[in-house]
A and B are shown apart, each in its own frame.
Chain A
Amino acid sequence: MSLNHRFRAGLFLFIVLIICFISGKEFRRMTIPDKIYPSKEITKISELAQFNPNLKGTNGNTAVYYFDSGKPGGTLLLLGGTHPNEPAGFISAVLLVENLHISAGKIIVIPQACYSGFTCTDPLEGCPEFFTLKTKSGERNFRFGSRVSNPLDQWPDPLVYSHYPSGQELSGIETRNLNRSYPGRLNGSFTERVGYAIMQLIKNEKVDIAVDLHEAAPEVQIINAIICHEKGKDIAASAVLGLEFENLQYALEMSPQNFRGLSHREWGDSTAAYPFLMETSNPIQGRLRGKTSSDLVVSGNDPYYREAIKIGKFRITYLAEGEPIKLRVGRHIEGIKALLDAFAENFPEKKIVYGNIPAYQEILDKGVGFYLH
């Protein structure tokens, strides 16, 4: 080999090393946890591993925030980030953690329920790793993750996922979907262990009402819906009517009894809690979307969905002016309030009294970042 060839080979290797270094650094950046700055009224920050020690030291472990008034009342569990590519759920939970005051009952918040899913993005979707919100003290980045746990934490996927204990069969990737894992198993798969810990939390903390925050593509039929277990249908119906008085339209959907593994089914069947799941319209998850960027996460404004509305051939739930994150978070926050009001109507002795949470219109007017630290 001539000197010239050796030089070229060395140069090529050097360039490859630099590329590997930069991309490796970028890759590692995804494992840096999002910073959350709890409200002064927080009473305890714990971790999910206390409900399943198998999660200790793994990406299945995640922070659990407690707001305990010490006074009688019910207990609410709020989950964000079950699907880390549905950011309105995550940000709504963060907004609560950073602002909440409580004077009766207890509120427990898990903003990143599937923490592992926050350490990667879905392959072949071109999704951003982060999105940015403007707060009073400057710009703040948040992770945009994957719908399911990171394959580095649970691999390989089976061809067919068999849900425990029902034996219901779903496509293999669903084995890493937290919202198909319930009731989970102490020593099950990585994701089943997370599901098990959440079930144990609900039981041990005697949770009365549990809300799982989600988003979905505009073409999905359950957009802007509250999905409830049959035992909570009166509470959900009352909440839907309450929201109507605020000019917020929600559909009411029942949890299918034969679709296993979902929070609104398994939490309701196996615990005393009344579970609810809420969805907002998020174009970055949709098949019709155009440029997939962090701007789309925040603005929710996509030209192809606008076009789809104009054509009128699709049944989609999408506002022509876009579905910005402030609107989606505002809907979730107002939905939680309506569910708590309806729950208190049915169980006055378990009323949860809380404060310092902005109203829907305030979030729309000032933006969600205004309420984040």
Chain B
Amino acid sequence: MKSFIKFITCLLIIFLVGFTFVVTKYEKPILISSAGQSADVTLAGTLFKKIKVDVTVLPLAKKSDLNGVKTLVVVPGFSSKGLGAAGISREQEFDRIKDLIAAAKSKNMKIVMLHLGGVARRGNQSDDFNQMVANASDVMVVVKTGDTDQFFTNIANKRKVHIKVIDKIADAIPVMQELF
């Protein structure tokens, strides 16, 4: 009898988790920002255009930009070119995103992570940003080549948040249609 109850409980949990993932719609208005200033933030904006959802893309968003926002989408990935173009250092970018996430959390805002750059946005320079965003997000969408070592999957499992690993960037479209 005990094992039967355990079995039913497990089924219920799996069902609820799956159900939550499928039906959770992240509310608008949506703000997209970068963590590391890679151009993947532009790709994220294009993905939202494809699913016809209006978003504001501010690669250098500050906490004051969160006014009225319901969902914060963060696209992590380090780019030295991007930081150079923005005229900021890696440390300044790190502090900015830390403040932004803290402000979003204090407003009970939902945070969605889109890691689109695959292996190119992994490694020493990117992983600080990846970890910080992954540790704060309510759901992660990750291109498979960026998670071959289960970096994001392990964080998701540890934090018990949902992760959707996709084969390529274009596969994010149906996932985002479900989420938004």
Asked if A46 is at the interface (CB within 8 A of a chain B CB), the reply is no
A257 touches which of B50, B85, B117, B123 (Cβ 8 Å): B85
How far is it, in angstroms, between the C-alpha of A244 and the C-alpha of B87 when the chains are bound? 31
A252 touches which of B39, B50, B85 (Cβ 8 Å): B39
B50 touches A241 (CB 8 A): yes
B43 touches A240 (CB 8 A): yes
A253 touches B43 (CB 8 A): no
A237 touches B43 (CB 8 A): yes
How far apart are B44's CB and chain A's nearest CB, in angstroms? 9
- Chain A residues numbered 20-36 whose CB sits less than 8 Å from any CB in chain B: none
Asked if A245 is at the interface (CB within 8 A of a chain B CB), the reply is yes
Residues of chain A within 8 A (CB-CB) of B82 are 254
Interface residues on B, range: 20 to 34
B45 touches A245 (CB 8 A): no
Interface SS of chain A: helix, strand, loop or mixed?
Answer: mixed
Asked if A72 is at the interface (CB within 8 A of a chain B CB), the reply is no
- Chain A residues numbered 241-270 whose CB sits less than 8 Å from any CB in chain B: 241, 244-245, 247, 249, 251-259
How far is it, in angstroms, between the C-alpha of A254 and the C-alpha of B45 when the chains are bound? 15
B39 touches A254 (CB 8 A): yes
How far apart are B54's CB and chain A's nearest CB, in angstroms? 15
A244 touches B168 (CB 8 A): yes
How far is it, in angstroms, between the C-alpha of A252 and the C-alpha of B59 when the chains are bound? 15
B42 touches A237 (CB 8 A): yes
Name the CB-closest residue of A to B117: A251
How far is it, in angstroms, between the C-alpha of A244 and the C-alpha of B50 when the chains are bound? 14
Asked if A230 is at the interface (CB within 8 A of a chain B CB), the reply is yes
B39 touches A241 (CB 8 A): no
A315 touches which of B81, B87, B119, B170 (Cβ 8 Å): B119
How far is it, in angstroms, between the C-alpha of A247 and the C-alpha of B84 when the chains are bound? 31
How far is it, in angstroms, between the C-alpha of A245 and the C-alpha of B46 when the chains are bound? 14
B39 touches A233 (CB 8 A): yes
- Chain B residues numbered 25-80 whose CB sits less than 8 Å from any CB in chain A: 39-40, 42-43, 45-47, 50, 79
How far is it, in angstroms, between the C-alpha of A315 and the C-alpha of B125 when the chains are bound? 12
How far apart are B65's CB and chain A's nearest CB, in angstroms? 19
B46 touches which of A228, A234, A259 (Cβ 8 Å): A234
Name the CB-closest residue of A to B50: A241
* Extra A-B contacts (16), CB below 8 Å, given A234-B42, A240-B43: A230-B85, A236-B42, A237-B43, A237-B45, A241-B50, A244-B169, A249-B118, A249-B169, A252-B39, A255-B81, A256-B85, A257-B84, A257-B85, A257-B87, A258-B85, A315-B119
Chain A residues near B (Cβ < 8 Å): 221, 228, 230, 233-234, 236-238, 240-241, 244-245, 247, 249, 251-259, 315
28 A-B pairs whose Cβ atoms sit less than 8 Å apart in the complex: A228-B39, A233-B42, A234-B42, A234-B45, A234-B46, A236-B42, A237-B39, A237-B43, A237-B45, A238-B46, A240-B169, A241-B50, A244-B168, A247-B168, A249-B118, A251-B39, A252-B42, A253-B81, A254-B42, A254-B81, A254-B82, A254-B85, A255-B85, A256-B81, A256-B84, A257-B84, A257-B85, A257-B87
Chain B residues near A (Cβ < 8 Å): 39-40, 42-43, 45-47, 50, 79, 81-82, 84-85, 87, 117-120, 123, 168-170
In the A-B complex, list the 8 residue pairs whose CB atoms are closest, starting with the nearest. Answer: A237-B46, A244-B170, A252-B39, A256-B84, A256-B81, A233-B42, A237-B42, A254-B39
